[in-house]
Structure 1
Amino acid sequence: MNLTGFRYIPVISTIKNYKKEYFVKDLIAALTVAVVAIPQSMAYALIAGVNPLYGLYTAIVSSIFGSAFGSSKHLVTGPTNAICLLVAGSMRNYMGLDNAYQMLFLMTFLVGTLQMLYGIIKLGKVINFVSHSVIVGFTAGAGVLIALGQLNTILSISIKNSAQLPTMEKLYYVLTHINQTNLYALGLGLLTIVIIVTCKKINKNLPGALIGIIIPILIIVMFGLDQKGVKLTGVIPSSLPPFRMVQFNFDAASKVFSGAIAISVIGLVEAISISKSISSTSRQKIDANQEFIGQGLSNIISSFFQCFPASGSFTRSAINYHNGAVSRLSGILSGVVIAIVLLFFAPYARYIPNPCLAGVILVTAYSLIDQEEIKSIIKLGKLNSDSLAMAVTCLATILLPDLDYAIYTGIVLSIILYLKDTNKSPIKLFIPSQGRDLKINRQELMVVDEKTDLLIIQLEGHLYFGSAYDLEQKLDSLVDKANLYILEMKNVISLDVTVLNALKVFIKAVNRFGGKVMICGVRPEINLLLLKANLDTELGVDNKFTLSEDELLKLIALDIEKTRVPFPCENTNTETNNFAYHLLQSVSNFNGGNNSDKKPAYFENTSTN
């Protein structure tokens, strides 16, 4: 797979390996997706604060190119609630300007450029810095904001320049003008909600959103409710998305750039999360960097066809997969179907009531609040890192005037909490103890109160500058607790120069007390690092770092055996038994502070590692 130079285009491979029998399955899935996507895209456009027509344009172009260039065979790209909310927040202060839409399409271009850049320089793993709890908190907050933002529409309370007002100001206006509610509009909106919920209970595959809009249209036509204050979508041109050059302007780009960064990150998190969720069942391997490029190209191309930023849609992707889609062609066909509908059936869309679109949005907003996931995160601890990151991100999303700052707040907080959790250097302490048949086990110690001959110190994890101080403090408390120390490092994944310096300080301190330090279980890459740092010279002993702990203990035991007078011991005719006996004899005078009855340590609480 070649990600550079755009020489790898997944749709080409799909076409080369495509079979005739796949087409019917892909077409059925595409038709089902289109039925859901049409009302959703129009509704989400209202969240973004733009004409519903642009929602259809975005659904057409982004689904075609997102499926063509992305990694997942089942991901359907298009307008999503979270992205539209971010778009609304970023564009709120500019929607009254003459060049507002030019700025919007420029932001789409910037989002795509950033996403493609992430893919080209292979930053797929960086997406892991946006923790799951941050996404849960953001989507929950987004659900609340989306719902509050649609109250004036479902109640049909007119607000001047509503697209430019923060959600809380709109809410205040609605509450203070609640007497202006149009009951016909409210009734139609509630009817849509009831229909969608009922359809979900009957059969999840029923297009509840579409049915929930068609039935109110019939009611409006039959009873002339548009003459009684129910606002309709209005005329939608019967045309395909027109090609327009993006108006590149440095001043405009600087105004929307911060929002573009937040949208690019959240868009990729959505796309990757959905792709991996589906791939866990479909068993397709997902390439995060290729998906970055696919989403980026989709948004770049979409910006030239009057589209706002798009991302992977969980609802439409799940429908696509569960309705039998075999290849990425299903996502492409869904865009083509929407284009055909727009081209030939657009005149009928003018009867769609805005309160019903608001009803579709309210149902979606409620589904964004993942109650089960929130409960599971809180269950882990109300004050742990995940819970705090989730809560702060949720509140920031609701309360901060700019949603991109809410995203940055959540990401920065989760990184800070991660660093706080990882600045500790976990170590475990062991001494040799007697197991069955005189084999050597390890007995773990919680504290070391008295000096012993041999102490095993197990290090583990990523040892870096953030945890170096904690490691140095722990090792410093052990410098006079043994004659020989074994640093067991088989579970050490990485270490840096700051940690190396901490190890050198410990070795020198032990040497001053007349003790020795040996190292074992080192991975090859870390072994090379230790040798380059001259740690073998610092130790001053003949020690191969890559030896396992058992191998090193065996060498130590043999050395003890050479220097001690043999003791009477049953079954000492094997090297293993001699090894066990003499090694245990070397620590037989030890009491590590865990045993109050002062018996030799190896008679107590032995456990095998």
Structure 2
Amino acid sequence: MEFLKNNIPIINTIATYKKEYFRFDFIAALTVAVVALPQSMAYAMIAGVDPAYGLYSAIVLAILGSVFGSSNHLATGPTNAVSLLISSYMAVYLGQGNFLATLFLLTFMVGAIQFAMGALKLGKLVNYVSHSVIVGFTAGAGVIIALGQLNALLGISLSQGKHSTLEKVMLTFENMDKMNNYALLLGIFTILVIIVSKKISKNIPGALLGIIFSVVLVMLMGLDKYGIKMAGEIPSAIPPFSMISLNLESINSLLGGAIVIAVIGLVEAVSISKAISAQTMQKIDPNQEFIGQGIANMGGAFFGSIAGSGSFTRSAIAFQNGGRTRLTGVITGIVILVLLLFFAPFAKYIPNASLAGVIMVVAYTMVDKNAVSKVFKSNRNDAIVMTITFLTTILAPELEYAIYSGIAISILLYLKETGAASVVRLAPVNGSPGQLVEYHTACGNGQPVNSTISVVQLDGNLYFGSSADLEQKLNDVYSDARVLVVKFTGVTMMDITSLEVIEGFISRVLKEGKKVLLCDVRPSIKRMMEKSHILSMVGEGNVFVTEEEVLASSAKALEKADAWLRGEIDIDFGLGKKVSQPSSQPVG
């Protein structure tokens, strides 16, 4: 039983459920369902499939995602970014008899990859897709989605087949003489209803009202006779069960796309869960969320669902409208199913232009202007990553190139930044024990410093990428001081390449008869020094390990250096050699 509680979170929710929660969960679920109806149909259109499959996804994925996921508020179902990716990868199968079988296989593969990543505890991998990549990709996807719906908004039918976004726009303008004015008016009307509803209150489901009013206009005025393309009939209110066709050739051709969709879906889901949990204080388990998303997509594949993820809009609605537990998502799926049972016959009167209007508004909201502005203002590298990802999303022939390029540029810029080692020369202030100042600054303002002791402070992670810069900067700070104190204050990680550079530097100092002390050395770094023989070169008694008291290690090293220079002690500098320093040597 404990195993089930740990792996099926809803069991624990039901065991601790309080009856007063139900009212909040039900109201939140009803509100989410009202928004999910037009959204899921619109997202199915973005994916290039019948709106019915979007509705099936809104039912099945919402229930399974809530049952097995980590977050209490994450609303799983069709999303704009994932639907756009589906459209990209499924375009080559349009018009083929195996289109739907391949689509559901893709959904299953996405879920299987996500489940495997969760089972293997790879939840932290989403951290390697930076926020700038997501902002750039989402904004670019918004532009593509809006341009891709232009022909539907204008009531212009295009030839079947794979068309890039730019090709669709060009074909649309070439066929402007075929524009349907009634379709355009219905699309604009839907957009205006959504905008006005938001102005009145954010809680008004403008998208749903726009769809309902459009259906009423079509039915009352007989607009379907004027060549307006409709959404068509929903074949069944209950998601149909069908087996997955595991075709090896299709699996091979879909694998790359499935991996991209799986990763983007997980990034969306975990990001949204964490954003809401920051307000609810719920602890989110990324691995469990991976498993929840995986089961949702795998299960949905057997019930006519397209791949989905967490929806920020619907998740925020669930939270803002008082949802208390994960049962909100389960009830949402049930409510959508009930609505379909009674209102599915009216779906055939929904104009595609109205759905295109809903999608246009969604596409506009995808461009997070505040996030874009924040990225531009905060960091040049992040701005570069976001811009390249944005442009690649719009212009690249395949959408995964945008993600790959964004991640690649992020890594390259990170490596460029971390390739610069932080090396600073400090010096003790005469008459102020333990006080260190930057050497060149002190000399510039005439501050009295002890020039016989040179302190070299290292910061950051030292690895092969920064080794060349480290070697150059260590040479630059080399001085005539007779005692060198190397501070490893901010060094938490070193590799063998960096250790060899430091070993060469220490060897040079010792060969000239000077002395070396190491301080603020973390235990893990000290163990590495022992294995690379640095410890035996310097002498273990001259290596001061980091202590809880700030700068205690540095103070001890400086005190020992001073004592040696005054001739008060002999220092064993490794390999059993003791060096005595005459007391007549000057200090300062």
TM norm structure 2: 0.92
Shift of 1:428: 2.3
Separation in 2, partners of 1:282, 1:216: 38
Deviation for aligned residue 1:468: 1.6
1:343–1:491 distance in 2 versus 1, CA, 3 Å: same
CA distance in 1, matches of 2:531, 2:108: 47
Equivalent residue number for residue 23 of structure 2: 24
Q: Amino acid of the residue matched to residue 443 of structure 1?
A: V
Give, in whole Å, the separation in 1 of the partners of 2:270 and 2:439: 44
Cα distance in 2, alignment partners of residues 6 and 112 from structure 1: 22
Distance 1:586 1:98 in 2: 92
- Equivalent runs, 1:428-447 vs 2, <5 Å: 428-434=424-430, 438-446=432-440
3-state DSSP of counterpart to 1:97? coil
Structure 1 residue 376, shift from structure 2 partner? 2.1
Q: Which moved more, 1:542-551 or 1:226-235?
A: 542-551
**Could you tell me how far 1:245 is from its partner in structure 2?**
1.4
Question: Paired residue for 1:579?
Answer: none
Contact 2:62 2:330 in 1 (8 A): yes
**How far apart are 1:158 and its partner, in Å?**
0.6
Q: Which range moved further: 247-256 or 445-454?
A: 445-454
Structure 1 pair 188–117 and aligned structure 2 pair: CA distance change class (3 A) = same
Contact 1:25 1:324 in 2 (8 A): yes
| Shift, 1:522, TM fit | 1.8
CA distances 1:437-469 after superposition (whole Å, capped 9, x unpaired): x44311113589999311212212222221122
Partner residue in 2 for 1:554:
559
Q: Distance in 1 between matches of 2:464 and 2:383?
A: 26
**What is residue 280 of structure 1 aligned with on the other side?**
278
1:414 and 2:414 aligned: no
Structure 1 residue aligned with 2:111: 112
Output the CA distance in 2 between the equivalents of 1:404 and 1:105. Answer: 20
8 A contact 2:75–2:310 mirrored in 1? yes
Contact 1:118 1:124 in 2 (8 A): yes
2:482 is paired with a residue whose SS is strand
- Structure 1 partner of 2:179: 181
Tell me the residue number matched to 2:550.
none
| 122-131 or 223-232, which deviates more | 122-131
Cα 1:358/1:237, change in 2 over 3 Å? same
State whether residues 424 and 457 of structure 2, in contact with CA within 8 Å, keep that contact through their aligned partners in structure 1: yes
The 3 A distance-change label for structure 1 pair 541 and 237 is: closer
Correspondence 1:20-419 to 2 at 5 A: 20-161=19-160, 164-380=162-378, 384-419=380-415
Cross-structure match for 2:421: 425
Between the aligned partners of 1:14 and 1:527, the Cα distance in structure 2 is 48
RMSD: 2.2
CA distance in 2, matches of 1:157, 1:551: 80
Query: How far apart are residue 138 of structure 1 and its match?
Result: 0.5
For residue 427 of structure 1, give the secondary structure of its aligned residue in structure 2: strand
> Mind listing any 5+ residue stretches in structure 1 that lack a counterpart?
565-582, 589-609
> Residue 574 of structure 1 corresponds to which residue in structure 2?
none
* Contact residue 448 and residue 481 of structure 1 kept, 8 A: no
Q: Report the CA distance between 1:174 and its aligned residue.
A: 0.5
Work out the CA distance in 2 between the residues paired with 1:28 and 1:7: 28
More displaced, 21-30 or 474-483?
A: 474-483
- What amino acid does structure 2 have at the position aligned with 1:175? F
Give the total of aligned pairs.
563
The change in CA–CA distance for 1:256 and 1:57 in structure 2 (over 3 A counts) is same
Check conservation: 1:429, 1:455, Cα contact below 8 A. Answer: yes
Measure how far apart 1:337 and its partner are: 0.9
Pairwise CA distance, 1:95? 1.7
Residue 289 of structure 1 and its aligned partner are, at CA, apart by 1.5
Structure 1 distance, partners of 2:104, 2:90, is 11
Shift of 1:139: 0.7
Q: Secondary structure at the match of 2:92?
A: coil
Question: Structure 1: how far apart are the matches of 2:527 and 2:40?
Answer: 56
What are the Cα deviations for residues 296-331 of structure 1, in whole angstroms up to 9, with x where unaligned? 111111111121110000000000000000001101
Deviates more, 1:183-192 or 1:535-544: 535-544
Q: Deviations over 1:137-179 (max 9, x none)?
A: 10111011000000000101010115x2111111001111112
1:434/1:440 contact within 8 Å kept: no
- Secondary structure of 1:463 counterpart: coil
What letter is aligned with 2:71? S
8 Å CA contact 2:423–2:474 kept in 1: the answer is: no
* Aligned amino acid, residue 226 of structure 1: D
Q: The residue matched to 1:93 in structure 2 has which SS?
A: helix
- Distance in 2 (alpha carbons) for counterparts of 1:516 and 1:459: 18
Q: State the identity as a percent.
A: 48
Question: Counterpart of 2:325 in 1: which secondary structure?
Answer: coil
Instruction: Give the AA of the match of 1:554.
Output: E
SS in 2 for 1:474: helix
CA contact (8 A) 1:95 1:101 kept: no
Distance 1:65 1:510 in 2: 66
Which 10-residue stretch deviates more, 232-241 or 471-480? 471-480
Distance 1:323 1:465, change over 3 A: same
- Secondary structure of 1:242's counterpart equals coil
Distance in 2 (CA, whole Å) between partners of 1:358 and 1:114 is 32
Between 1:545-554 and 1:411-420, the stretch displaced more is 545-554
Superposed CA deviations along residues 266-314 of structure 1, whole A, max 9, x for unmatched, are: 1111111111111111111111111111111111111111211100000
SS at match of 2:542: coil
User: 1:33 touches 1:316 (CA, 8 Å); kept in 2?
Assistant: yes
Q: 1:22 to 1:518 in 2, by over 3 A?
A: same
> Do the aligned residues in 1 keep the contact of 2:164 with 2:397 (CA within 8 Å)?
yes
CA drift at 1:239: 2.9
Q: SS state of the match for residue 286, structure 1?
A: coil
Q: SS state of the match for residue 516, structure 2?
A: strand
Could you list the structure 1 runs, at least 4 aligned residues long, displaced by more than 4 angstroms after superposition: 446-451
Residue 2 to residue 88, structure 1, CA distance change in 2 (3 Å): farther
How far 1:479 sits from its partner (Å)? Answer: 3.4
Cα deviation, residue 551, structure 1 = 2.2
Question: Alpha carbons of 1:344 and 1:422: their partners in 2 closer, same or farther (altered >3 Å)?
Answer: same
**73-82 vs 537-546, which deviates more?**
537-546
Of residues 16-25 and 34-43 in structure 1, the stretch that sits farther from structure 2 once superposed is 16-25
Asked whether the equivalents of residues 44 and 83 of structure 2 are also in contact (C-alpha less than 8 Å), the reply is yes
